[in-house]
Amino acid sequence: MEISTALLLNAIIAGLLLGGFYAAVSVGISISFGMLDVVNIAHPGFIILGSYIAYIVNTHFGVDPIAVSLLLSPLFFLLGMALYRVYYLCFEKRGQESLRGLAFFFGILFITEVALILIFGVDYRTVKTAYADTTLRLGVVDFPLRLVVPFLVSMAMVVGIQLFLTHTFFGRAVLAVAQDQLALRLMGVNPVRIKELAFALSIATAGVAGAFLIVIQPVEPSIGREYIGLVFAVCVLGGMGSIWGTLLGAFVLGLAESFTSTFFGPSWAPAVSFGLLLFALAFRPAGLFGR
């Protein structure tokens, strides 16, 4: 097959734009799994929940889905706080997080999926936005706005989280939870409280990522599963709990998927993230950019 420059350039740009979206999808896992050691496999479930909430508000009131998700992110924050409370009391406190905690989150993922199927059915849902059908062209390269807008908002969100984590007391406390909980206690900080808020932040990013998702592509309840491998692949590739690493991991995955669908066909794309994940776990578990 002859590879033209235009095709190659388009694949690269599409991959980078997709990678920006993947960063928003996985930044929450980098916080909860990478920093707090809470293996929240239900994360994609909350992403799909975010998609459906954006969908409902968009169809009824015509509000832009991304604006909706940002406005409603406090709700996801509260949901995350409640979820962590349950998780802490039932599993972390008793030291049972490794097996039963995992099963718990798996159950939560499954319940959100089945509940959404019962309410909305398995049809694909879409949203209407002012920019969805516009594509900018620079020379031979396409910039579809339905990818560009989520990309830009996602970059703002990820950079914002990184600045927040490194420049505020709370943020540094979150980073400290990952390293030494006892030391944190001695500083007069309650690590459980810090974890609760940080976990809530991770769920809030899931809600926003859900709005991006439904802007980018039609959504049905069970596509959340495809993102489980993706979020963990990005997190592991990025070196667990480093926000810049997450960003790089997301771009690597975005490019890999874009190249796979361009040159091998889209039906192979889902295997890319999981394949990379298996590869990373087997040969480089510290991640590409791990410490």
82 binds another protein (CB under 8 A): no
State the helix-helix crossing angle for 145-167 and 243-263, rounded to 10 degrees: 160
CA-nearest of 77, 73, 109, 81 to 208 is 73
Interface characters, 23-62, with another protein (x: CB under 8 A): ----------------x-x---------------------
Residue 171 or residue 221: which is nearer to another protein going by CB?
Answer: 221
Residue 127 or residue 230: which is nearer to another protein going by CB?
Answer: 230
Residue 115 or residue 130: which is nearer to another protein going by CB?
Answer: 115
CB of 240 to another protein, least distance (A): 10
Interface characters, 118-137, with another protein (x: CB under 8 A): x-------------------
CB of 231 to another protein, least distance (A): 10
Single residue of 110, 120, 131, 259 touching another protein by CB under 8 A? 110
Single residue of 56, 75, 106, 288 touching another protein by CB under 8 A? 106
Single residue of 7, 9, 102, 178 touching another protein by CB under 8 A? 102
172 binds another protein (CB under 8 A): no
Phi and psi at residue 219, to the nearest 5° = -125, 135
Q: Give dist(CA 200, CA 176) in Å, integer.
A: 17
Answer whether 29's CB lies under 8 Å from 43's CB. Answer: yes
Single residue of 63, 197, 225, 259 touching another protein by CB under 8 A? 225
Beta strands of 141-197 (E only): which ranges?
141-144
Kindly state the helix (H) or strand (E) to which residue 137 belongs, with its residue range.
strand 135-138
Answer whether 18's CB lies under 8 Å from 153's CB. Answer: no
Residue 119 or residue 138: which is nearer to another protein going by CB?
Answer: 119
CA distances in angstroms from 71 to 23, 54, 79, 151, 165, listed in the order given? 20, 10, 15, 18, 21
CA-nearest of 49, 182, 169 to 117 is 49
Q: Give dist(CA 149, CA 117) in Å, integer.
A: 28
278 binds another protein (CB under 8 A): yes
Single residue of 50, 229, 249, 287 touching another protein by CB under 8 A? 229
Q: Give dist(CA 243, CA 249) in Å, integer.
A: 10
Which residues contribute to the site for another protein (CB under 8 A)?
Answer: 39, 41, 86, 90, 96, 98-100, 102-104, 106-108, 110-111, 113-115, 117-118, 222, 225-226, 228-229, 232-233, 236, 267-268, 270-271, 274-275, 277-278, 281-282, 285
